[in-house]
A and B are shown apart, each in its own frame.
Chain A
Amino acid sequence: MASDFAIAQFRFLERLLVVHGHWCYKRIAQMICYFFYKNIAFGLTIFYFEAFAAFSGQSVYVDWYMLLFNVVLTSLPVISLGVFEQDVDSEVCLQFPALYQQGPKNLFFDWSRIIGWMVNGLYTSLIIFFLNIIIFYDQAFRSGGQTADMTAVGTAMFTCIIWAVNCQIALTMSHFTWIQHLFVWGSVTTWYVFLVFYGELSSALDENAFKILTEVLAPAPIYWITTLLVTIVCNLPYLAHISFQRSFNPMDHHVIQEIKYYKRDIEDRHMWKRERSKARQETKIGFTARVDAKIRLLKGRLQKKYSLMSAPSVISQQT
């Protein structure tokens, strides 16, 4: 996390702080929370399987899947979140410096948020693991009567993980350029493409993963239905939480996003200008601030002196 910045002119400091500082804080907070979430969701499923494998250390996933998880399949969307995410655009940041206060007030990286994301990861891992295990339990999974072996169950479970965490990041992002779309949906597509190509390699024969998608899983409707079910169940609590929070307890950037979305800033320029001026504060530090404070103090004393001086004249008039 870089904290050394060089700017060419002193006037660039405003942009650095109010635009880039604001974005940077939110990007890093969201990226870290999401990273914990996705790795908890993935890692805990491996631990749960140990309870069913006599704690022998057998992983339900083929080694290649686990290697690619953090390298190709889920790393690019997080990078695009951490590099490109904007809650409001740069003009609005400059017009509303009060939005920067979300950083010092630590609204996005406090303990309740971190623990909330971790609980979300725990819930996701439980849903993915147990739904897959129960659905693929011991009966046939295809109309041909075949039962699912460990590689088939592992591949189905891994597909659910990829979909669930990528849909989760799509719900977290609020700024979608072509890059985000490419990375998020491209990661899901890459998973299927990898399965097709890996299934053709002879090294996949050693892992029971030969033609795992083309022959075993893709023709089974239960595979696709399970993926859909697990993805929706994993993301439903988060969707409900953010919709309720946004509707009944909105934060500043939510309200401003809505104003811009419904173009109220263009319809009601007076309101926009008024809110912009309210979003600035007089500075409380520095030489000019001290001078202003001293002037206010002296003015106050002068007011009191005048009121005292005028009071006896009132009394003398009455007597």
Chain B
Amino acid sequence: MVTIRADEISNIIRERIEQYNREVKIVNTGDEASQTISKKSKKPQYSRFTQQELPACKPILTPGLVITTLISIGIIFVPIGLGSLSASEHVVEIVDRYDDACIPSNGDDEAAKRERLSFIQNAKTNKTCIRNLVVPKKMKHPIHVYYQLDNFYQNHRRYVKSRSDRQYRSPGSEGDTKTCAPESEVDDHRPIVPCGLIAWSLFNDTYGISTKDNPIPINKKDIAWQSDKNSKFGSNVYPKNFQKQDPVGGGKLNESLPLSEQEDLLVWMRTAALPNFRKLYGRIETDLEADEKITVVIQNNYNTYSFDSKKQLVLSTTTWIGGKNDFLGKAYISVGGTCLFLAIAFILTYVIKPRPLGDPAYLSWNLNSATR
């Protein structure tokens, strides 16, 4: 049995406490020689990102800022609107519907419809049609000639799908016609080039324009996008087996020209967004004077009579915004006007009933106690 005296116990305890204090002091002063308990801090590393204290700008919508913004929008928009409107006013446009005039009968009954269809589907009938137009104002060259179709859904999903761009690009992919159904192959499984419903329904009315005596040449070069001619359609891909079986959907193609030079086809293959659309037919490179009478000789080949559609010939000049587009100018002017009106309304309400900014009386606990 070991006997320990009271004073020895207190000495031992004192010693232990001093040793512990030394160790803590060593650790706190960072003495590397110490190998005792380390009281490392568990606080995570401070960084502005993790503490969400990144430098920030905190803009607030003061009345001054809002009024300035609205007025500047108004000041920018109204001139743009006026510019667009004046550009649209300068565009001269002639629109002439001819599909109802260029066929034998125009009635609504079944017999008339059948007569129209048999006329248009018969390859041997004479489809020439003469139309007379008057130029309303002087038209400066280049004057763009368009054909406009109404109620023709080039944006139908099955129609848009029915094409094979790989086949159009390279002669080696001639057989790549799977996506072109139903216009992919002739009866003995030879592929159609170009395949698909879009190419099959190619528009084939032609227009010949002349003034009193002189025929006006229509320039049909460069009506398609450059990238279509250079990359999308191959310069060594030739039409094959095209429109060789019934039913014939539209125009035929010159088999000696490669696809990249068939610009009518290229323009037609760019499917339009809406059921009423125009496509570029060609350009007239001479001026047309005001009140000039022009004669258009139309070959009314394309069948729009099996469905409720319209065909129109359009001659139009263009400006920097394109064709006739009153809506753009009017929209800009009305939005600019609305912004100015809102700015004035804001100024008036702010002058009549101002709220001092940063006033603590508007804090909810002050407001509630004020009303109580």
Contact = CB atoms under 8 A, between A and B. Distances in A.
Nearest to B270: A149
Contact of B321 (A90, A210, A222, A240): A222
Contacts of B357: 258, 262
A130 B229 CA distance: 32
Interface in A117-172: 131, 133-154
B322 A222 contact: yes
B322 A255 contact: no
A220 B90 CA distance: 18
Nearest to B150: A138
Contacts of A177: 54-56
A136 B324 CA distance: 11
B318 A52 contact: no
A301 interface: no
B358 A135 contact: no
A247 B350 contact: yes
Contacts of B156: 53-54, 56, 58
Contacts of B30: none
B207 interface: no
A145 to B, nearest CB: 4
A293 interface: no
Nearest to B323: A139
Interface in B20-64: 42, 52-63
Given A149-B272, A221-B320, A57 B157 contact: yes
Contacts of A58: 155-157, 160
Contact of A131 (B142, B316, B331): B331
B98 interface: no
B240 interface: no
Contacts of A264: 358
B61 A150 contact: no
B153 A54 contact: yes
B304 interface: no
B157 A149 contact: no
A244 B338 CA distance: 16
Interface in A228-265: 229, 232-233, 236, 239-240, 242-244, 246-248, 250-252, 254-259, 261-262, 264
B327 to A, nearest CB: 5
Nearest to B272: A149
B146 A147 contact: yes
B113 interface: no
A148 B273 contact: yes
B273 A252 contact: no
B366 interface: yes
A229 B61 contact: no
Contacts of B154: 150
A232 B334 CA distance: 12
Contact of B318 (A140, A153, A244, A246): A140
Interface in B318-372: 318-325, 327-328, 331-332, 335, 338-339, 342, 346, 349-350, 353, 355, 357-360, 362-366
| A-B interface, 3 closest residue pairs, ranked by CB to CB distance from nearest | A139-B323, A145-B144, A58-B157
Given A145-B142, A150-B155, 7 more contacts: A86-B56, A139-B323, A145-B322, A147-B279, A215-B226, A225-B84, A258-B358
10 contacts: A52-B273, A53-B155, A56-B153, A60-B155, A135-B331, A140-B318, A178-B54, A229-B331, A233-B335, A239-B69
